[in-house]
């Protein structure tokens, strides 16, 4: 290893999020517009070999020790388990974020290929609301996918629920009960300004404090000491599991952020809310060696902001939505 990947504010980056496709089989209202998106041509996507080379540079040069595959929906990428097996050889902790719609088919092969952890996006437990949010009547399929992930041996299985005031904030206790009964960890995410229709507003954000107060009134909670992970964790006083809240808006954790991102077409992003990207695909395809790629990655991280400034007058909204960036 050459050295840790450190920015000018002293933050060390050890977590790499890789989007492997911009496509999705759902069209969620908060990340994809009604008319859909113009998909990338296959030739624009990084190949499995290119993804693995970039990941290897980050592991060997900078000590990246956590890799998460995202999308779009990563499981729509053909032969995804081949990529998982290639990345598993790097020896990092590996996870995937998926909408769960094809997990009954993919869960066991992913485990066999070397995937260890899984996050499943689910924003409603109500059939009509799920249909409205995803434009797909597949709630039962996703719930079965969650069961398949547990049966396959993923540990932990985490459920990501984006909380939107007036949309699904009346389901907080339902989600908590669901997690307790199924033995999965529910993580509530404050709604961030990354929706494709640009309908985000600060008054529709349900804060971490409000989320915990509502759940704790039914199932008393206490906080768990926080590490570098994005979620603040809370455990149930009766010992029946825990929940987490990613409070990116009301309690920004930029000072502890250790994540960097690679888009499906090979653009390196030093922050989820970055407005600038660094073109690693062109470097790769021009024949650049590992050292040149590592230098560009370090340059990108050096340019990272102190924080995203959501809710402040100087906040600059990224030009991409969440489905184009990756989680």
Is the pLDDT confidence value at 97 over 60?
yes
Q: What is the mean pLDDT of residues 69-79?
A: 94
* Predicted pLDDT of residue 214: 98
pLDDT of residue 114: 97
Percent pLDDT > 70 in the chain is: 86
pLDDT band at 16 (very low <50, low <70, confident <90, very high): very high
The DSSP line for 182-243 is HT-EEEEEE--S--TT----GGGBPPHHHHHHHHHHHS-EEE----SSSSEEEEETTSS-EE
Question: Has residue 316 got a pLDDT over 60?
Answer: no
Nearest-10 crossing angle of helices 103-113, 139-152: 30
* Domain of residue 150, residue span: 5-325
On the question of a cis peptide bond just before residue 73, with omega within 30 degrees of 0, the verdict is no
pTM for this structure?
0.90
Cis peptide before 5 (omega within 30 of 0): no
- Percent of the chain having pLDDT more than 90? 69
Computed over every residue of the chain, the mean pLDDT equals: 88
Give the separation between CA 130 and CA 150, rounded to whole angstroms: 22
pLDDT at 186: 98
pLDDT on residue 2: 75
pLDDT of residue 313: 45
Picking from 212-216, 229-233, 314-318, which range would have the lowest pLDDT averaged per residue? Answer: 314-318
**178: pLDDT strictly greater than 80:** yes
At 201, is the pLDDT very low, low, confident or very high (cuts 50, 70, 90)?
Answer: confident
Q: List, for residues 39-64, the tens digit of each pLDDT value.
A: 688 889 999 999 999 999 999 999 99
Q: What is the domain count for the chain?
A: 1
Report the CATH number at residue 166. Answer: 3.20.20.70
Instruction: Give Cβ neighbours of residue 41 (< 8 Å, ≥ 6 apart).
Output: none
- In this predicted structure, what is the pLDDT of residue 144? 98
DSSP 278: E
Lowest mean pLDDT among 34-38, 97-101, 282-286, 293-297: 34-38
d(CA 121, CA 100): 7
Q: How confident is the model at residue 145 (pLDDT cuts 50, 70, 90)?
A: very high
- Across residues 294-303, what is the average pLDDT? 95
């Amino acid at each position: 290893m050459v050295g840790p990947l450190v920015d000018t504010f002293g933050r060390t980056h050890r977590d790499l999020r890789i989007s492997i496709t911009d496509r999705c089989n759902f069209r969620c209202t908060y990340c994809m517009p009604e008319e859909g998106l113009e998909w990338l041509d296959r030739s624009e996507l990084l190949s499995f070999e290119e993804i693995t080379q970039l990941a290897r540079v980050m592991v060997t040069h900078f000590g990246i020790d956590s890799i998460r595959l995202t999308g779009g929906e990563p499981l729509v990428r053909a032969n995804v388990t081949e990529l998982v097996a290639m990345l598993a050889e790097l020896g990092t902790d590996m996870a995937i974020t998926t909408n769960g719609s094809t997990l009954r088919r993919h869960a066991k092969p992913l485990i066999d290929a070397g995937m260890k952890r899984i996050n499943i996006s689910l924003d409603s437990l109500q059939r009509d609301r799920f249909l409205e949010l995803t434009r797909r009547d597949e709630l039962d399929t996703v719930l079965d996918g969650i069961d398949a992930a547990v049966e396959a041996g993923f540990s932990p299985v985490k459920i990501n629920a984006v909380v939107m005031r007036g949309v699904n904030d009346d389901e907080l206790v339902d989600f908590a009960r669901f997690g307790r009964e199924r033995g999965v960890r529910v993580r509530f995410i404050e709604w961030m300004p990354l929706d494709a229709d640009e309908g985000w507003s600060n008054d529709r954000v349900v804060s971490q404090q409000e989320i915990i107060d509502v759940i704790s009134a039914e199932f008393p909670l206490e906080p768990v000491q926080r590490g570098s992970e994005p979620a603040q964790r809370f455990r149930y006083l009766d010992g029946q599991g825990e929940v987490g809240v990613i409070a990116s808006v009301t309690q920004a954790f930029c000072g502890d952020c250790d994540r960097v991102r690679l888009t499906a077409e090979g653009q390196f992003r030093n922050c989820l809310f970055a407005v600038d990207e660094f073109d690693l695909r062109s470097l790769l395809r021009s024949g650049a060696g590992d050292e040149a790629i590592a230098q560009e990655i370090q340059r990108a991280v050096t340019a990272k902001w102190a924080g995203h400034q959501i809710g402040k007058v100087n906040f600059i909204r990224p030009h991409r939505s969440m489905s184009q960036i990756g989680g």
